[in-house]
C-alpha cells in the first residue's frame, strides 16, 4: 500500500533506502535529506508498505499542474519486483496529475521503462548529463498495476518467459500471470500468444503441451520422468503436440476457465466461467461449458467482418480514446454505419 510515512522518516530502515537514491549517500547527506522533508509541509514523503514493512520510499511535491518526484527508491533486497512502478502508478492515481522527475544516466532507464518521455540536458553547475522525465496522463501498457490498490495487472510487462507473447493492455485479475501457464517447457518450443486488450479473470489456466503423455503406445505412464525406472525419454515426435495456443484481441475469459494446448481463440470471443476449452472458437462467439461449445455469435457476419478489418486494438492510444463511445454503443446499426464510413 502507498501511504504517508513521513512520521517514520527517522527510522534506520528508511534512512537506508533514502541513501540508495540521495545525491549524497553518506550518513550526513541522508540526514540532510531527512531534515528537508521534516521541515517542509510542501514536501510529501510516502512509502510502499506491506505488513508494516517499508519496501520503498517516494518523496515528492504536488503543484497545480504536476506531481514532481524528488526521491524514489526501493529497499535493496526488494528491487526488481515492480515496487517502484507501483509507487509511480499509485502517485498518479492519487493526484490525477502528470508526473515529472529529474534523474541521472544510471536511473533514467527506470523512468523510460514506465512510459516517461525523457529529455537530456547538461547541468550548468555540475557539468554532467541529467534527464527530465515526464509521464503524462495517458494509458501506459508498461504499468504493471493499472488499478492502484487492487490486484489487477497488465500482463505484458510482467512476462519473463520468451515463449509467452502478450499484447498491450491485456490484463489479468491477479498479480502472477505466469503461474497460470502450466506445463510450459522450453524444449517443446510451443508458445502462448495473446493479443491486445484481453480481459483474463482470476483462476484461468493455460495448459501447454508439456502436460501431454505419449498416447500411441500400450501405456501412457511416463516412467522416464520418475526416478529409478529404466526408460529413456521418448523423442518429441512420439509425444502429442498441438502447437501454439493463440488468443486473439479483445477476448474476455471468465473465472476459472481452463484452456487446453493448441487452442486458437478468435478476436472478440467471450468464454463463460468454469469452461474447459479444447477446440478452436471463431471470432465474436460466446462459448461456455465443459467441453466449451459455441452458444451463439455476438453479431451478424457483416458486423464481425467490419470489426475484423477495422482492428481498433491496433490504433494509437489517442485514436482509441476517441473510439470509446463507438466501442460502447449498444446501437449496433449505428456502429455498423460508423465503421463503414471510417473504412471508406
* Co-location of 88 and 163 in the same domain: no
For the stretch 254-312, pLDDT in tens is: 999 999 999 999 999 999 999 999 999 999 999 999 999 999 999 999 999 999 999 99
| pLDDT value for 201 | 97
Same domain, 276 and 343: no
Q: Give residue 138's pLDDT.
A: 80
51 pLDDT more than 80:
yes
In a domain, 247, yes or no: yes
Based on the structure, what is the number of domains in the chain?
A: 3
Q: Residue 268, CB half-sphere, CA atoms under 13 Å: how many? A: 20
pLDDT in tens, 72-100: 999 999 998 889 988 998 898 788 789 99
In a domain, 142, yes or no: no
Residue 47: pLDDT over 90: yes
- The band of 149, judged by pLDDT with boundaries at 50, 70 and 90, is confident
Does residue 148 form part of some domain? no
| Distance separating alpha carbons of residues 199 and 155, to the nearest angstrom | 10
Claim to verify: residue 87 and residue 99 sit in the same structural domain: yes
Q: Do 117 and 163 fall into the same domain?
A: no
- Residues 57 and 14: beta-carbon distance below 8 Å: yes
The pLDDT of residue 148 is above 80: no
Q: Which domain holds residue 340?
A: 300-344
Reading the block at residue 288, the C-alpha cell is 461456455
pLDDT in tens, 167-192: 999 999 998 999 999 999 887 889 99
Bridge partners for 43 per DSSP: 61
Task: Looking at the structure, tell me whether residues 292 and 166 fall in a common domain.
Answer: yes
Query: Cβ distance 57 to 72 under 8 Å?
Result: yes
Considering the domain boundaries, does residue 143 fall inside one? no
User: Which pLDDT does position 89 carry in this prediction?
Assistant: 83
Determine if the pTM surpasses 0.85. no
Catalytic residue (one of 44, 131, 184, 213): 213
- Please indicate, yes or no, if residue 140 is contained in any of the structural domains: no
Q: 178 and 87: one domain?
A: no
Whole-number Cα distances in Å, 141 to 138, 169, 247: 10, 5, 18
The full length of the chain comes to: 344
pLDDT tens readout for residues 152-168: 999 998 999 999 999 99
Same domain as 326, residue 243: no
Is 219 in the same domain as 282?
yes
Q: Does 36 share its domain with 104?
A: yes
> Does the active-site annotation cover 213?
yes
Please give the grid coordinates belonging to residue 174.
491477479
232 and 183 within one domain: yes
Amino acid at each position: 500500500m502507498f501511504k504517508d510515512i513521513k512520521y517514520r522518516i527517522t527510522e534506520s530502515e528508511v534512512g537506508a533506502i533514502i541513501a540508495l537514491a540521495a545525491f549524497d549517500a553518506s550518513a550526513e547527506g541522508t540526514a540532510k535529506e531527512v531534515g528537508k522533508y521534516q521541515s517542509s509541509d510542501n514536501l510529501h514523503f510516502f512509502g510502499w508498505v506491506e505488513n508494516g514493512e517499508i519496501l520503498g520510499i517516494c518523496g515528492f511535491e504536488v503543484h497545480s499542474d504536476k506531481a514532481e518526484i524528488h526521491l524514489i527508491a526501493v529497499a535493496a533486497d526488494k528491487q526488481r519486483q515492480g515496487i517502484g512502478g507501483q509507487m509511480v502508478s499509485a502517485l498518479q492515481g492519487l493526484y490525477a496529475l502528470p508526473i515529472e522527475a529529474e534523474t541521472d544516466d544510471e536511473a533514467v532507464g527506470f523512468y523510460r521503462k514506465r512510459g516517461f518521455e525523457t529529455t537530456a540536458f547538461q547541468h550548468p553547475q555540475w557539468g554532467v548529463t541529467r534527464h527530465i522525465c515526464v509521464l503524462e496522463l495517458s494509458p501506459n501498457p508498461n504499468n504493471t498495476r493499472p488499478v492502484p490498490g487492487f490486484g489487477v495487472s497488465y500482463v505484458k510487462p510482467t512476462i519473463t518467459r520468451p515463449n509467452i507473447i502478450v499484447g498491450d493492455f491485456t490484463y489479468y485479475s491477479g498479480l502472477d500471470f505466469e503461474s497460470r501457464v502450466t506445463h510450459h517447457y522450453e524444449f517443446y518450443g510451443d508458445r502462448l500468444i495473446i493479443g491486445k486488450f484481453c480481459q483474463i479473470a482470476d483462476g484461468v489456466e493455460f495448459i501447454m503441451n508439456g502436460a501431454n503423455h505419449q498416447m500411441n503406445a500400450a501405456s501412457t505412464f511416463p516412467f522416464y520422468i520418475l526416478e529409478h525406472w529404466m526408460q529413456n525419454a521418448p523423442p518429441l515426435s512420439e509425444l502429442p503436440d498441438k502447437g501454439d495456443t493463440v488468443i486473439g484481441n479483445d477476448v474476455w475469459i471468465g473465472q476459472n476457465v481452463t484452456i487446453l494446448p493448441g487452442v486458437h481463440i478468435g478476436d472478440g470471443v467471450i468464454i463463460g466461467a468454469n469452461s474447459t476449452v479444447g477446440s478452436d472458437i471463431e471470432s465474436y462467439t460466446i462459448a461456455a461449458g465443459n467441453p466449451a461449445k459455441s452458444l451463439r455469435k455476438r453479431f451478424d457476419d457483416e458486423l464481425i467482418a467490419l470489426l475484423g478489418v477495422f482492428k481498433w486494438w491496433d490504433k494509437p492510444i489517442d485514436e482509441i480514446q476517441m473510439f470509446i463511445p463507438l466501442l460502447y454503443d449498444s446501437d449496433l446499426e449505428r456502429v455498423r454505419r460508423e465503421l463503414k464510413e471510417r473504412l471508406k
